[in-house]
Amino acid sequence: MLKALTQNQRTSASHMARQRSLVASKCMTKDTKIAACFVALALALAACSSSATPPEASVSAAAVEPEAVEAETAESTPAEPETAEPESVESATTDPSENETESVEFETTEPEATESESLREGGFGGSPGPSGAKVEMPDRPADNSITYATRDDQALLYRLSGDRNPLHSDPAFADMAGFPKPILHGLCTYGFTGRALLDGVCGGDPATFGRMDARFSSPVFPGESLTIDIWTEGEKTLFQTTASPDNRTVVAGGTFTRR
């Protein structure tokens, strides 16, 4: 009995020892875990504090970075070649007088217009200007003379040609030009002369009418008669036209060629 009691006491004592060790181990485990958490937290804080950069250092680094970029840009950009400064305008430009060529003025003397020439040119008082080579008419009576009478309204009819110059229709305008009344169109005077050559030289056959050349020497007034004088000089035909009643030459130095 005493053995059994002793055995029970031993069993209960070992059981209690186990319980205590288990409790102790649990307590130690709990404490160890708490301590480990504190250690991990301390290590994390230490790591954060060591990796963080002070504000002043970051600002200075940020301030230095643009300068470094500028330095790198300056090194990478090639230097521009130096250009020579332009010379002053005074030294670059030459004296204008050096390039000027001497101009030679030629004085031309124009013959003074006579009273008849002034009237021929409409009363403006100047020189009649240059003209072609003069063709002299033979010093003998004409081989053929043909006369046509113009109408008083001849100039008004010739306005149908498209020449509506008031010099041929308006007495006031003609007076300003130095004429006593409106003058006949030159085209009309030339047409009467050509008609005479067609009849007197070509026998009315337009197929043989070649070329006529002449110059106007005086205006014609509507209502005057025109006389065309024709000379045959070998193969040449010469002509001129005069106006009555004063028998003045209105178409001079005429030459005609047949076909």
Q: Which residues are catalytic?
A: 163, 168
Q: How far apart are CA 197 and CA 79, in angstroms?
A: 91
Burial of 119 (0-12, 13-18, 19+ CB in 10 A): middle
What tokens does 181 get? 């009344």
Q: How far apart are CA 177 and CA 154, in angstroms?
A: 20
Query: Letter for the amino acid at 21?
Result: S
Burial of 196 (0-12, 13-18, 19+ CB in 10 A): buried
Q: How far is CA 204 from the centre of its chain?
A: 56
Task: Count the helix, strand and coil residues of the chain and give each as a percent rounded to the nearest 5.
Answer: 45, 15, 35
What tokens does 34 get? 């708490």
């065309």: which residue's tokens?
A: 228
Pairing of strands 209-216, 144-149: unpaired
